[in-house]
Amino acid sequence: MKKNLIVIVGPTGIGKTDLSIDIAKSFSSEIISSDSRQIYREMSIGTAVPEQHHLDACKHNFIGIKSISDYYNASMFEQEVVAFLDEYYKEHDFAVMVGGSMLYVDAVCKGIDDLPTIDPEIRAEIMKRRDEEGIDALRAELRVVDRVFYDQTDIKNPKRIMKALEVFHMTGKPYSSFRTNSVKERPFNIIKIGLQRDREELYTRINRRVEIMIEDGLIDEAKSLLKFKDLNALNTVGYKEVFGYLQDQYPIEEAVRLIQRNTRHYAKKQIAWFKKDETTKWFHPDNIQDIIDYIKDISATE
């Protein structure tokens, strides 16, 4: 029997955690988190790390394995997950991967172009320039050395700008020249399950989820991380808005409103991204048995 990776995707707040545990139990599998922020051990409340009873119910992997000061990206995630699965499938037929980080999901399912290993000194120099000259200076350089990638990428994302410059300074070639966008072959089946709800239902869940985060101690968690606020790991919805409150830019009520609004905007972006993949089968999260039956049918015919 060929091995199977069940990939559960959908926007934040849709109900991926509960469903993933039900699916994992049904197929005697472990769970891989594909959330790019749950990777960091210092960020649990604001990233909605599964509660302890969820973690106890099923073994979770790739949660809290890095510090916010560690450099990490989707390419590294791809390599580590593929290596993990290579060992894992020696004893298991099914694995469940769940999360809403679009690039991390695609990294495992489709692969990322092979890029040169970056010399730590080059990475440190780019980071030093960011701190001393500002991201606008790096953005201006990228526009000159790699106009193709500059026009394609989100230039408001410092991590992408810095990554492209690292590759350029390492190789002397533009980052865009390494991007082939070819899909890598995987030695396992990929079964994609997308979760969807009515927009009003989803937005109500998102708004309530933010309120629960505040009740659970998001303010104190953000306060403990305030001195690290410029790290890329903390350039994240939930923390950015609370940092503004902690720096007396607006009252707590405004911080909550901004988190709710920005989370809804992010959810719309996630939905648009995942909907582009025609291999994904969409379900309401409550239709657990239908999802299980679909996975059984697909895995039996692959």
Domain ranges in the chain? Answer: 4-112+182-301, 120-178
Crossing angle between the packed helical segments 239-246 and 252-275, to the nearest 10 degrees: 160
Burial class (CB in 10 A: 0-12, 13-18, 19+), 60: buried
* pLDDT value for 75: 87
Q: What is the pLDDT of residues 88-102, one digit of tens each?
A: 999 999 999 999 999
Residue located via tokens 């990428």: 153
pLDDT bucket at 154, cuts 50 / 70 / 90: confident
Mean local confidence (pLDDT), 27-46: 97
Cα–Cα distance for residue pair 160/254, rounded to 1 Å:
29
pLDDT bucket at 139, cuts 50 / 70 / 90: very high
* pLDDT value for 302: 63
Mean local confidence (pLDDT), 223-237: 93
Share of the chain above pLDDT 90, in %: 81
Ramachandran category for residue 208: left, alpha or beta (phi over 0 → left; psi -120 to 50 → alpha)? alpha
* pLDDT value for 182: 77
Q: In whole angstroms, what separates CA 279 from the centre of its chain?
A: 20
* pLDDT value for 178: 82
Mean local confidence (pLDDT), 152-175: 89
Q: Which CATH architecture has domain 4-112+182-301?
A: 3-Layer(aba) Sandwich (3.40)
Please state, rounded to an integer, the average pLDDT across all residues of the chain: 94
Q: Which range has highest mean pLDDT (67-71, 115-119, 201-205, 298-302)?
A: 201-205
Closest of 12, 64, 63 to residue 236, by C-alpha:
12
Same fold, 4-112+182-301 and 120-178: no
Residue 61 DSSP one-character state: E
pLDDT bucket at 30, cuts 50 / 70 / 90: very high
Question: Does residue 1 surpass a pLDDT of 80?
Answer: no
Q: Which CATH architecture has domain 120-178?
A: Orthogonal Bundle (1.10)
* pLDDT value for 168: 92
| DSSP secondary structure letters along 145-177 | H-HHHHHHS-TT-HHHHHHHHHHHHHHSS-GGG
Lowest mean pLDDT segment, chosen from 34-48, 109-123, 162-176, 268-282: 109-123
